[in-house]
Structure 1
Amino acid sequence: MNDFVKYYSKNNLITSRKFKEINRLYELSPEELLRKYNEAFLSIFKKAIRDSEFYKKFYSEHGINLKSIRDISDIQKLPVINRQLIKDRVNDIYNGFDFLKVKGLTSGTTGTPLTVYRTPVNIAYEQAYIRHYRQMFGFTLGQPLLSIRGVLGKSVTHEYYKKANILYISSPNINAGTIEFYYDLIREFKPVAVEAFPSYLNKFCVELERKGLPLEIPNAFTSSEMLYQHQRDRIEPYLNTKVHDWYGNVERTIALAQDVQNNYYPLPLYSINEFEPIRVITTALINRNFPLIRYAVNDVVLVEGGDFMKNLVSPKVIRIEGRTGDNVDLKDGSVVGCMDHAFKGVSHIEMAQIHQYHVQDPIEIKIVSSPDFSKDDENQLRANLVRMLGNDMELRFTYCNREDLTYSASNKFNLIIKRRPGS
């Protein structure tokens, strides 16, 4: 997709209209907003049961029809769906024109990656929420934005996206040997905001601090990993910035963002969230053509109180757990986070785990594969890892069973293991 198409797929008349609608939502009373949620839920449900082959059959099997659901208070009558249930039925969930489909992939570290479908309208809606959120803190579209990204890989140091005025720099290349190059590049660019994974931004500040290279970037927008307080404590004073964190998922079924007091809140009318002790049951409201209704997200979001209606509009979020993106250390001193991205697009993996005990040791990738896993799948995974980590990190693939993976004392799974089991 060229820059022109990419830009206007995210920034167009639909985006502008949705932006204005979101702005009005913030002016509503809790009662008025709740009515909006009710209308949006009923609209999504009725379209799904009418137009989606998956939901027609699925709800029929569970004794659900149009008359079963009167309003949003009936939502828990609907059965919960999850990735495993729908991974082979995504084409039946989608209801719309095939030529409008835009494919997305979740990471596949706990199973084969899930394909999700978006449409130009859905993409525009998502961008409207992002634009509105950032504008609340003074950043507007077209202002110079620094984006620290892992997808550029080791072979590309930076790219400039002129139409959107974004300077992309390659996070795997940030280290003691390159930081002065990046510093000069950024000083010349003069960004007023930066977007990055928290671990990347933290590493960036560490390298700047070691060389005594000061920068000032008023706003820092983080996402995709857990934001730790020690990271905020380093990033904010060194860049003279304010960090704003956004929690979401590839499926676009939940979005929680931080306000000026660093408290997370749900973006209005983005999704319906049912907070449970070990998961969140989510219902997307911005993708009518690929509806995910009562979709289980296995992250833990702790909230105060259990009143569904109150938590729908204004939950008091205590903290978010289960979204930590550990890092792999490289020999040149740089780090690579969000390693789950290496598994995107790789099929036939049931589970995977990365073991790195010392930077000089080979990185061991333990794979629990399905019977259809092939050499092509391994080659794809290897290529993804090399793109992220470079060519000088030795990779070792080990095929095993689920019980051969390493788990925490509470039996929780972590993608990256840095200590030898038993040590």
Structure 2
Amino acid sequence: MKRLYKQFIRNTLKNNLFFWYRLQRLKRVHSELDLEELLVLQNDKFLKLVKYAYANSSFYRSFYQQHGVDINTIKNISDLNKLPIITKDHIRQNVENILIGIKSFHKTAFTSGTSGTPLKVYRSYSSIIEEEAYIWCHREKFGHKVGMKAVALRADLDRNIFMELDPFSHTKLLSSYRLSEKTAEDYYEEIASYKPNAIYAFPSSVEILANFLLEKNKFLDVPLIFTSSETLYEFQREKIQKVFNARVVDWYGNAERSIALEENKEGIYNELPLYSINEYQDDHILTTGLINFSFPLIRYQVNDVLIPDQNSGKVRQIIGRVDDAIELPDGTKVVRLGLVFKGLNGIDFAQIIQNTRTNIQINVVPSKSYEQKTKFKILDKIKLFIGNEIEIKVSTVTEKEIIKTERGKYKLVINNINSSEQRTASVI
């Protein structure tokens, strides 16, 4: 009864008149406004954010004064580069001073901590509703509407609870912490019997389930799988689509809510209108979030590699963190290594670990159909990307030996070379 009450409260807070109003407003923004009108609105929102942060956040007022910023010279988005960049360290050291408003009226959130100590941020109730509206606007473009049945394979349940039905959102929650060869049949039965229109999942969680079902030669029919929170690699997408007979649709965002991108029907990532202003650099992004005025992040550095499409201004590919790359002896960084494993059978998981510039370790979790020649295919394919300068060792390991974060997130490449050296490398 207690959990049912929590589900009711959670759904009431997210799915209410404020949510529906904002969802309908977003739909109008998408369908009725042209690019010029959107740019005017974005510019207005940006100016309001900067002036609001300067007037109400002790951090920004002090920070801008220290950097000699005359706030009166900030007249439009083209003046963005007059503002100094903030980093995770700035947030970590000034989190309470960045916050505008009463702390108890905000939700505390944490990043996953893939690059060190998790970062604490605050979300206003308004920004939570706004985020929910953006997510559902995205889902509805693929035919998945509020109230349709779904399965969530994320971190909603711990290891002690296998399944829980949320009757208010019509979502069956399945624990992502109990996936094993023994329990795979249970997950299969729960999904098959519920017949969801969509699955919401971490890429690694739904890939784990896909691996077990492939071994058992079991397949499902789920129209849509919405992935988020991790980098989605093409070899994962290929496998998931095969097992679930589903269209896999990805969403890129961060816990700080300073940027979000939606994958469209052509497989390109769109910037969300009026969500953020993004400045794409070779090895990071500078993001200015426009939906959370209570915890403003202006020119905030996000250390992910995104490949913009030069013709459309959209994002062609999301690579992941800047340290998710192999560094060659000459300092060149090589990304997009998920292509090495695309099309190879007999592999449940793979992970590339680099501790020095002269050698890498590739760990492979084999399935029953793994063949020794697969090892040589991996070696041949990766040399196409990195050449012959680095010593490469391929080993078969157990799933427990695959390195994940504390929250169970999976990284394809783990680069342990000193981060200060990495920042000087070029990206190809």
Aligned partners of 1:149 and 1:169 also within 8 Å: yes
Match of 1:295 among 296, 300, 304: 300
What's 2:416 paired with? Answer: 406
Residue 16 (str. 1) matches residue 14 (str. 2):
no
Question: What TM-score, normalized to structure 2?
Answer: 0.74
Paired AA for residue 292 in structure 1: L
Match of 2:151 among 142, 146, 149: 146
Pick closer, same or farther for the CA change 1:317–1:335 going to 2, 3 Å. Answer: closer
In structure 1, what is the Cα distance between the partners aligned to 2:179 and 2:104?
39
Match of 1:26 among 24, 30, 39: 30
Alignment of 1:133-282 (within 5 A): 133-282=138-287
Paired AA for residue 316 in structure 1: K
Aligned partners of 1:146 and 1:166 also within 8 Å: yes
Q: Output one character per residue of 1:189-210: Cα deviation in whole Å (capped at 9) or x when no partner.
A: 1111001111221221222222
Post-superposition offset of 1:213: 2.2
Paired AA for residue 22 in structure 2: K
Post-superposition offset of 1:3: 1.4
Q: Output one character per residue of 1:86-130: Cα deviation in whole Å (capped at 9) or x when no partner.
A: 212111111123331110011334333221011111100000001
Paired AA for residue 276 in structure 1: Q
Paired AA for residue 178 in structure 2: N
Aligned partners of 1:102 and 1:117 also within 8 Å: yes
Helix, strand or coil at the partner of 1:212: coil
Post-superposition offset of 1:224: 1.5
Helix, strand or coil at the partner of 2:134: helix
Runs of 4 or more above 4 Å deviation: 323-326, 333-337, 355-366, 408-413
What's 2:343 paired with? Answer: none
Q: For structure 1, list consecutive stretches of 5 or more residues without a partner in the other structure.
A: 327-332, 338-354, 367-380, 390-404, 414-423
Pick closer, same or farther for the CA change 1:185–1:318 going to 2, 3 Å. Answer: closer
Post-superposition offset of 1:31: 1.1
Helix, strand or coil at the partner of 2:292: coil
Q: Output one character per residue of 1:18-61: Cα deviation in whole Å (capped at 9) or x when no partner.
A: 11221122132111111111011011111111111111111111
Post-superposition offset of 1:148: 0.8
In structure 2, what is the Cα distance between the partners aligned to 1:360 and 1:183?
23
Paired AA for residue 277 in structure 2: I
Pick closer, same or farther for the CA change 1:73–1:364 going to 2, 3 Å. Answer: closer
Aligned partners of 2:156 and 2:173 also within 8 Å: no
Paired AA for residue 95 in structure 2: V
Q: Output one character per residue of 1:312-336: Cα deviation in whole Å (capped at 9) or x when no partner.
A: xx5232321224699xxxxxx9989
Aligned partners of 1:12 and 1:124 also within 8 Å: no
Pick closer, same or farther for the CA change 1:303–1:336 going to 2, 3 Å. Answer: closer
Residue 107 (str. 1) matches residue 112 (str. 2):
yes
In structure 2, what is the Cα distance between the partners aligned to 1:336 and 1:9?
40
- Bigger Cα displacement from structure 2, 144-153 vs 241-250: 144-153
Question: What TM-score, normalized to structure 1?
Answer: 0.75
What's 1:396 paired with? Answer: none
Structure ranking higher on relative contact order (CA contacts 8 Å, 6+ apart)? 1
Aligned partners of 2:57 and 2:100 also within 8 Å: yes
Q: Output one character per residue of 1:325-349: Cα deviation in whole Å (capped at 9) or x when no partner.
A: 99xxxxxx99899xxxxxxxxxxxx
Post-superposition offset of 1:174: 2.0
Residue 318 (str. 1) matches residue 316 (str. 2):
yes
In structure 2, what is the Cα distance between the partners aligned to 1:64 and 1:88?
21
In structure 1, what is the Cα distance between the partners aligned to 2:308 and 2:27?
25
What's 1:345 paired with? Answer: none
Post-superposition offset of 1:152: 2.6
Pick closer, same or farther for the CA change 1:286–1:108 going to 2, 3 Å. Answer: same
In structure 1, what is the Cα distance between the partners aligned to 2:265 and 2:400?
43
RMSD of Structure 2 on Structure 1 (CA): 3.2
In structure 1, what is the Cα distance between the partners aligned to 2:50 and 2:130?
19
Helix, strand or coil at the partner of 2:26: helix
Residue 54 (str. 1) matches residue 67 (str. 2):
no
Alignment of 1:318-397 (within 5 A): 318-323=316-321
Percent pairwise identity: 38
Helix, strand or coil at the partner of 2:37: helix
In structure 2, what is the Cα distance between the partners aligned to 1:274 and 1:360?
40
Pick closer, same or farther for the CA change 1:185–1:107 going to 2, 3 Å. Answer: closer
In structure 2, what is the Cα distance between the partners aligned to 1:361 and 1:334?
8
Helix, strand or coil at the partner of 2:93: coil
Q: For structure 2, list consecutive stretches of 5 or more residues without a partner in the other structure.
A: 326-336, 338-346, 352-362, 365-394, 410-414, 424-428
Aligned partners of 2:349 and 2:399 also within 8 Å: no
In structure 2, what is the Cα distance between the partners aligned to 1:336 and 1:254?
29
What's 1:343 paired with? Answer: none
Pick closer, same or farther for the CA change 1:360–1:209 going to 2, 3 Å. Answer: closer
In structure 1, what is the Cα distance between the partners aligned to 2:290 and 2:272?
11
